Amino acid sequence: MQAQMNIAKNRSTYKDSTLSSTFAHSTSLRLKKPLSAARPSVRLACLPFSTPLVCASSSSAAFAGRSLAPKPLSLRPTKLSLSLCRSIDASASSSSSEPVLPSSSDSLLPSSPSSPSSLPSSPPSSPPSSTPLSTPTPTPGYSREFILRRLVVFLSIVLGYSSYYLTRNSLTYTAPVMVADTSLSMDITQIGAMTSVFPIAYGMSKFISGVLGAKFSPTVLLSGGLLATAATNFTFACGGSLPWFVFFWALNGTLQGVGGPCCARILTSWFNGAERGTYWGMWNVAHNVGGFVAPLVAGGCSKQFGWKWGMWAPAAIASVVGLAVAVMCKDRPEDVGFPPVEPVDVALSSQARSAKGSKAEKANTKSGNAESDILGQLVKNVLKNPFIWGLALTYFFIYIVRQGVTSWFVFYLMKQKGASDAGQAAMRVSGLELGGLVGSLAAGRLSDFLIKKADGKGGNVGKRIVVVMLYTVGVAAALLAFRALPASAVSLQWLTVFLIGFFLYGPQMLIGLCGAELVGPSSVGASEGFLGWVAYLGAANAGIPLSVVVKEHGWDAYFGTLIFACGMALLLLSPMTKLRSYVQREERRLRREA
């Protein structure tokens, strides 16, 4: 009897202690300053009576792909504890208008389970429902559904851009059959008139569509542009006069400029900075795929069925792919219910807003119109960015080398290296595209490896610049080796051309990626368009100017010009080896303001 009375007394004492401690803890929470200024907010998820009590806290570590799951309490909650949970939760939510994600080391959850007013935090078997946030958290660890959906999007932009290349190169393999057709009465000069208008229209279109396209869906532009260029190829074959051909081929060049900036916007939205280089390099393979399929489709059909089918067959393929892209592709992960892969830290942005208060809101409202202005975005994020200009000029010199190699190596092999005809010379140069394919993939992978090793969230542009510089040195060395090879070393010539393609296509791919990562998401298309426009100006200088160099000063001057272009590219890149991406700069700014 005495033992039972002692047990009842102990239970009463424990209950009083629990009530007193819990009430004091709740009161202290209410008397503290707002949680947004003092510490991150905490949400206590009070579950039904039959389930363990769970205390859940969000964490900014979730942005690194880690899920901080809370731990179930071994005790069952009483009705009083449930009501206190609701009271504390209401107090926490009313103290701040915007939720802030706490860090894992800054939590209101004590570690000792002995105190009645403290709750342990260890992972439960199933995570509690999370508090809705103003900015969604990224997909933690990438779910299987997200990976599959992203793969579909990636394949759609690869197939889409390959089809752009197919309709871009259709005339190259149809033109010989057109010249042979006596009903057209065409010669090589008229074919040259058609092909000369294409790069001019393409370069301007890439710049304009990159700027104006920021206000439209990249998926709609990508699929719509592909359908339009298919229609242009089809209409081209319906005519029979030179003005007709020139007009529609210039129109084709104008429509072709839509593809690249749209693919860049989609790719940067679906892949974060630590993996973007790898997938950008894989997407760049679309150039090689389209270039490989074009002679098979356009050349084969024109030879078998007539020159009109050399244009109609690529148009039919592009039409089917354009419709597939419209269905398969999505602009951003948010469009299909997934969080963004690389958001700016919500906790930092919330703290910055709290510190600035209404002054920041007023400034944002005042600058809203300027940010929505297309021309303002172009000037602010692209034309006023000195590093974008540095990348553009680097692109200029890289494209002089690229176009100089592709346009003149066949002639050099025939004049200086003993190739008997154009066919034999073309066989020796065939390794260029294959080397470019391997080099693009390797460059993207290597730049991602350096970024992961440096633990640079959002992609460290400087690491990619280092890879571009290493590849540019490789281009110069391979050009010198190719010049020094004897005419009898045919196998070594092919291998050296492979190395030239390997080192040349890496910078050609990575410079565009660096430009996309330097600017904000709203200016990716404008950046790609501007860089592409300047690059094609460089390609134009590899035509007539380089032909004058060869004619007046010989092949040694030709190789000297290409080596000089590599040196200028290295000089322009040297101040950018520590360059940070847009995401990294935003994070640093928010930390400074917080």
Q: What is the DSSP string of 285-305?
A: HHHHHHHHHHIIIIIHHHHHH
Of the candidates 41, 103, 588, 130, the one whose C-alpha atom is nearest the C-alpha of residue 344 is 588
Q: Delineate the domains of the chain, giving CATH numbers in brackets.
A: 2-94 (no CATH), 145-341 (1.20.1250.20), 385-594 (1.20.1250.20)
DSSP for 221-234, written as a single string: HHHHHHHHHHHHHH
Region for residue 22 given its phi and psi (left: phi exceeds 0; alpha: psi -120 to 50; beta: otherwise): alpha
CA distances from 197 to 105, 361, 548 (A): 62, 49, 21
pLDDT for the residue 129 = 42
Place of tokens 């059909």: 301
Bridge partners for 55 per DSSP:
44
Residues 226-242: tens digit of each pLDDT = 999 999 999 999 988 88
pLDDT for the residue 456 = 58
d(Cα 561, Cα 429) in Å, to the nearest integer? Answer: 20
Helix crossing, 544-553 with 555-573: angle to 10°?
Answer: 130
pLDDT for the residue 317 = 96
Within 10 angstroms of residue 118's Cβ, the number of other Cβ atoms is 17
What are the tokens at 476? 């110069």
Regions of the chain short of the pLDDT cut 50? 1, 7, 14-15, 17-140, 345-353, 356-371
> Does the reported pTM lie above 0.75?
no
d(Cα 245, Cα 239) in Å, to the nearest integer? Answer: 7
d(Cα 229, Cα 319) in Å, to the nearest integer? Answer: 9
Query: Which run of H or E residues covers position 279?
Result: helix 276-294
pLDDT for the residue 80 = 42
d(Cα 55, Cα 43) in Å, to the nearest integer? Answer: 7
SS3 for 131-151, per residue? CCCCCCCCCCCCCHHHHHHHH
pLDDT for the residue 153 = 95
DSSP 127: P
Query: Which run of H or E residues covers position 419?
Result: none
pLDDT for the residue 49 = 39
Is residue 211 within 8 Å of 525, Cβ to Cβ?
yes
Q: What share of the chain is helix, strand, coil (3-state, %, to 5)?
A: 75, 0, 25
β-pair type (54-56, 43-45): antiparallel
Maximum separation of any 2 CA atoms in the chain, in Å: 121
420 in helix, strand or coil?
A: coil
